[in-house]
């Protein structure tokens, strides 16, 4: 369930079909092209998960799977 939520948010922010996003997708690299999209992604993930991702931790997260694991651990 968490994977699908993150994938849906990423697809919305990137304006792409969510079927093109997998657990190995380096979402952070894709979002660094546009800082506004990166911020929107983080805010939406935090709102949906009711968890806060601190900046230091977020810098270590690269893929959808990394984000999913982080959110389940905090």
pTM: 0.81
Interhelix angle 2-14/35-49, nearest 10 degrees: 150
Q: Is 17 exposed, middle or buried (0-12, 13-18, 19+ CB in 10 A)?
A: exposed
Instruction: Give the domains, in start order, of the chain with CATH numbers.
Output: 2-73 (1.10.1200.10)
- Output the pLDDT for position 41: 87
pLDDT tens-digit series, residues 52-66: 998 888 888 889 999
Which pLDDT band holds residue 33 (cuts at 50, 70, 90)? low
Q: Quick one: pLDDT band at residue 1, thresholds 50, 70, 90? A: low
pLDDT the model gives residue 67: 92
Tokens 């922010």 sit at which residue? 13
| pLDDT tops 90 at residue 38 | no
């Amino acid at each position: 369930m968490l994977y699908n939520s993150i994938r849906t948010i990423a697809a919305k922010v990137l304006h792409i079909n969510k079927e093109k996003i997998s657990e190995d997708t380096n979402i952070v690299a894709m979002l660094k092209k546009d800082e506004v999209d990166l911020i929107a992604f983080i805010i939406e993930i935090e709102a949906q998960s009711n968890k806060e991702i601190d900046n230091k931790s977020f810098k270590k997260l690269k893929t959808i799977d990394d984000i999913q694991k982080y959110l389940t651990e905090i």
